[in-house]
Chains A and B, each alone.
Chain A
């Protein structure tokens, strides 16, 4: 294709956009809003999944020992664990190890825990972490250890994961429904804009046709116009989400350091690229609808 022709396509597309500027702006806005919602719900789902993954590992029973528990008493508990068929795996966590893990969770704020390293100052107890095969086995299993003299406390966090998964599922469904509705609206709004462009250029199209223009020569500027509207909308959405998300992340990392947010830039950028592609597809789909219906070439 000649450079001259490519320039022609772009010039024509831009002219159409400027000519129908209000409708163009509205189309861009609707694409932006729908992709913004899509992006936000994807991020929520992504983060809910991430939090759930982290919590899943905490749906386990922690058997905390009293400070004065002897190694023999601990061994006694371990023997009992080995004998139980519900136990999928278990792990002995010394107080030192527990402190290190906590530091890791606190990330940059780990300074709070400074000075607790010495054996006597460390407030954390030795513990067994036990996983069951099934979530339902957690509570009965925990009961069996609750009364033992060497055991200080038995803890488990059943229910949290289920709630989180339900929330994530709900966000996913609501986000998907809104996104589909808005996406369809965006496609049709773009189709309307393009239809108007086609209409305001019908004389020109007629002339092009008797001068021997190919179908694609006539169609391409309109396709480009739609794709441009879609891309502009998605760029707005991506910019808003990208800056919004990373500022939210950085404030969460300061105030709630233990909440595991997805902050992998490559993953987020991949998501943004997906949104840009979605914008292009929405734009192309909208203009194809109008070009096919109103541009009998």
Chain B
């Protein structure tokens, strides 16, 4: 479903963030992306949702060349990708419900669709009863579940999570991980950048390790490090 071919990314400041990376992410797979800070993990996912362009190589998403996509097609690419970040990135002046609904509003969904899809997406993350609350009044774990809810409300093909448990305590992190597994079970591809060693070791999913911009390990049912 997603293929990266011979990707090299050099930033304008001459830093080579990715060096000849080739990876495939099959449809419905669960992928951990690990590696030290500065290894190029965030850069790699930015290439997928076209926040950045590769210096060389191709990114293919659902058979489309992302790099060659026209500017006005990019929003439609991003609506196929749910994003979850370490810092949640919720809008503080909108309620939980409105935050999730916003993703649909942006996509131009009708009120009828929004009224059905938002409660369903909140149900999945177990926050239906918090719909009217503002993010500031929620715990970190709850806020991250709101952002997961927002990520899935559009029925994306892929969910990208950049260190989603980075700000959460281990127990909350596990709850969130189970949520991602559920979502993956329903067929959504997941690509997760993480530093959570224990979780990776226990989950027995594919692990890709980056170091210095290169893939140094790619294992099915892998562990955090050797």
**Interface of A with B (CB < 8 Å)?**
2, 4-5, 8, 203-204, 206-215, 217
- Known contacts A4-B111, A8-B105; A213 and B89 CB within 8 A of each other: no
* Cβ-defined contact, B103 with A211, below 8 A: yes
Cα separation A208 to B83 with both chains bound (whole Å): 11
* Cβ-defined contact, B102 with A211, below 8 A: yes
Query: Among A203, A206, A208, which residue has its beta carbon within 8 angstroms of that of B106?
Result: A208
**Residues 90-116 of chain B: 1 if any A CB is under 8 Å from the residue's CB, otherwise 0?**
110000000000110111101100000
* Cβ-defined contact, A214 with B72, below 8 A: yes
Verify if B26 is at the interface (C-beta below 8 Å from A): no
Chain A residue at smallest Cβ distance from B71: A215
B164 CB to closest chain A CB (Å) equals 14
* Cβ-defined contact, B105 with A210, below 8 A: no
Verify if B79 is at the interface (C-beta below 8 Å from A): yes
- Known contacts A4-B111, A204-B91; A210 and B106 CB within 8 A of each other: no
Residues of A within 8 A of B150 (CB): 211
* Cβ-defined contact, A212 with B91, below 8 A: no
Within 8 A of A (CB), among B28-74: 49, 51, 71-72
Residues of A within 8 A of B51 (CB): 210
- Starting from the known contacts A5-B105, A8-B105, A203-B89, 4 additional A-B residue pairs (CB-CB under 8 Å) come to A4-B105, A4-B110, A210-B83, A215-B75
Verify if B206 is at the interface (C-beta below 8 Å from A): no
Chain B residue at smallest Cβ distance from A1: B108
**Interface of B with A (CB < 8 Å)?**
49, 51, 71-72, 75-79, 83, 89-91, 102-103, 105-108, 110-111, 150, 154
* Cβ-defined contact, A211 with B78, below 8 A: yes
Cα separation A214 to B108 with both chains bound (whole Å): 10
* Cβ-defined contact, A212 with B105, below 8 A: no
A118 CB to closest chain B CB (Å) equals 83
Query: Among B90, B103, B106, which residue has its beta carbon within 8 angstroms of that of A217?
Result: B106
Residues of B within 8 A of A208 (CB): 106
Residues of A within 8 A of B105 (CB): 4-5, 8
* Cβ-defined contact, A206 with B89, below 8 A: yes
Residues of A within 8 A of B83 (CB): 210-211
Cα separation A2 to B106 with both chains bound (whole Å): 11
* Cβ-defined contact, B75 with A214, below 8 A: yes
Chain A residue at smallest Cβ distance from B104: A211
Residues of B within 8 A of A203 (CB): 89, 91
Residues of B within 8 A of A207 (CB): 89-91, 102
Q: Considering residues A203, A207, A214, which has the most beta carbons from chain B within 10 angstroms of its beta carbon?
A: A207
Residues of B within 8 A of A217 (CB): 75, 106
Cα separation A215 to B73 with both chains bound (whole Å): 11
A83 CB to closest chain B CB (Å) equals 80
* Cβ-defined contact, B49 with A210, below 8 A: yes
Q: Considering residues A2, A4, A203, A210, which has the most beta carbons from chain B within 10 angstroms of its beta carbon?
A: A210
Cα separation A98 to B189 with both chains bound (whole Å): 97
